[in-house]
C-alpha cells in the first residue's frame, strides 16, 4: 500500500519524507487555509520535497473555470496531480486533463457508482471518504470494498485512495480490502508504529541490559 500524507504543513511533510514513509501528498482548500500560506507557494515547496504525486485541488465548480485553474496548478511542478470534485463538471475536467497527460484525483466520493463514473472518466485516483461516511452511520470501509470489487470486475486502472482516515484501524482495514493508497493525517501515520506491547517489551530490554553493566559502543 502507498502512503500519502494529508496536510500542507511543510515541517510534517519533511519529517515523514525523511523517514522514507511517503509516496505522495494530498492537500485541499481547508488544509491550505490551515497552513496560512499562498497555495502556489506552499504547493511548490511540497513538490520540491516529495517525489510522488502532490494533489492540488481546484476551487472552481464549473468546467471552464476548473480547466483554467488546473492549467495554473499544473505549471507549479511536474508531479502535480489535479484534484477535482465528483460532479459532472469535475468528471468532464477529469476526462480532458487525463487525455492531456495530467494525473487526476477525483475527490468527495461517497458511493460506488460515483467511483465507477470516475474510473470511466480516466481518473488516476478516486478518493472515497471513509470517516465522513462513518459519521453518518454508514460503514465507510464497505464503500472501499464495493469499489475494489467493481474495479477488479472490469480491470479499471484507477487507484483507490482511501481518504478521511480517522484511525489506525481504518488504515489496516483499507489495506486488507485492497485500497491502493491511504492518505493519512500526520498524527495517524505516526500512530501506526505504536503498540503498548512494543513499549513494554522495550522497557524490559532496557532494564535487563542495564543490569548487565555492558556497553556496545
**With left for phi above 0 and alpha for psi between -120 and 50, is residue 202 left, alpha or beta?**
alpha
pTM of this prediction? 0.94
- How much is the pLDDT for 132? 96
CA dist 47 and 36 (Å) reads: 18
Tens of pLDDT, residue by residue over 98-150, are 999 999 999 999 999 999 999 999 999 999 999 999 999 999 999 999 999 99
pLDDT at 52: 97
Bridge partners (DSSP) of residue 203 are none
Segment 166-184 mean pLDDT: 97
In a domain, residue 217? The reply is no
pLDDT for the residue numbered 158 = 98
- Distance from the Cα of residue 141 to its chain's centroid: 15
Whether residue 88 is contained in a domain is answered as yes
As a whole number of angstroms, the distance between CA 82 and CA 80 comes to 6
The pLDDT of residue 171 is 98
Above pLDDT 70, what percent of the chain? 100
Task: Tell me how far apart the alpha carbons of residues 7 and 36 are, in angstroms, rounded to a whole number.
Answer: 12
C-beta of residue 46 within 8 angstroms of C-beta of residue 66: no
Would you state the pLDDT for residue 9? 95
pLDDT of the residue at 215: 93
Q: pLDDT at position 147, please? A: 98
How many domains does the chain fold into? 1
Provide the pLDDT for residue 68.
98
Quick: pLDDT tens for 8-25.
Answer: 999 999 999 999 989 999
Residue 154 has what pLDDT? 97
In a domain, 201, yes or no: yes
Distance separating alpha carbons of residues 90 and 80, to the nearest angstrom = 17
pLDDT in tens, 30-68: 999 999 999 999 999 999 999 999 999 999 999 999 999
| Residue 12 confidence (pLDDT) | 95
Rounded distance between C-alpha atoms, residue 177 and residue 162, angstroms: 11
Q: Which domain holds residue 29?
A: 2-212
CATH of the domain at 202: 3.20.20.70
Residues involved in catalysis: 83
Amino acid at each position: 500500500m502507498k502512503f500519502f500524507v494529508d496536510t500542507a504543513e511543510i515541517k510534517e511533510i519533511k519529517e515523514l519524507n525523511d523517514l522514507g514513509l511517503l509516496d505522495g501528498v494530498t492537500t485541499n482548500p481547508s488544509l491550505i487555509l490551515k497552513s496560512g500560506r499562498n497555495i502556489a507557494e506552499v504547493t511548490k515547496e511540497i513538490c520540491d520535497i516529495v517525489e510522488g504525486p502532490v494533489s492540488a485541488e481546484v476551487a472552481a465548480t464549473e468546467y471552464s473555470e476548473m480547466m483554467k485553474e488546473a492549467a495554473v496548478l499544473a505549471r507549479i511542478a511536474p508531479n502535480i496531480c489535479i484534484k477535482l470534485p465528483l460532479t459532472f463538471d469535475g468528471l468532464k475536467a477529469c476526462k480532458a486533463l487525463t487525455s492531456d497527460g495530467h494525473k487526476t484525483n477525483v475527490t468527495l466520493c461517497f458511493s460506488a457508482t460515483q467511483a465507477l463514473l470516475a474510473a470511466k472518466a480516466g481518473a488516476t485516483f478516486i478518493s472515497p471518504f471513509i470517516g465522513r461516511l462513518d459519521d453518518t452511520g454508514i460503514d465507510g470501509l464497505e464503500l472501499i470494498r464495493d469499489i475494489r470489487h467493481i474495479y477488479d470486475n472490469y480491470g479499471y486502472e484507477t487507484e483507490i485512495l482511501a481518504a478521511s482516515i480517522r484511525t489506525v484501524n481504518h488504515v489496516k482495514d483499507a489495506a486488507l480490502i485492497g485500497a491502493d493508497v491511504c492518505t493519512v493525517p500526520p498524527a495517524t501515520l505516526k500512530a501506526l508504529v505504536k503498540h503498548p506491547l512494543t513499549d513494554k517489551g522495550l522497557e524490559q530490554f532496557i532494564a535487563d541490559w542495564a543490569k548487565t553493566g555492558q556497553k556496545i559502543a
